[in-house]
Structure 1
Amino acid sequence: MGFDPSYVSHMESGRHNDGHSYRLTKKRLLRNTGDEPVTRYLIRISVDRYPGAPDGRWRGAER
């Protein structure tokens, strides 16, 4: 693997709830400054199961 001459110049993300489910979007503007075409660009998506919970656990009905 060599040096990758491409970079993300702009990134935007969004979340939309229609009352039943969420739709998540992520847009990236990838700039290629090299001579070869970019044929793959891997991304990783990480989701919090319970957003807002500091330890990531759901606090349901206390027993």
Structure 2
Amino acid sequence: MSALPGFFIGLSIIVALGLIASTATITAWLYDRRAARRPAASGPDERVSLADYRRALTRPQTT
């Protein structure tokens, strides 16, 4: 009977670690989904070709 408290203490530690790991996983998943929806910051890697730029300038403006 004396092993029973140690069993429950070990079980509660395992459950607590599982909850921490699942919370971290869900948080990272939600953060990735939110980051994917956010428009990318314009930088030097997002270059527009000269043909696209000219096409945008000559397109009729509709307001």
> 1 or 2 for the larger relative contact order (CA 8 Å, sep ≥6)?
1
Greater share of strand: 1
TM-based fold match above 0.5: no
Greater share of helix: 2
TM-score (norm 1): 0.24
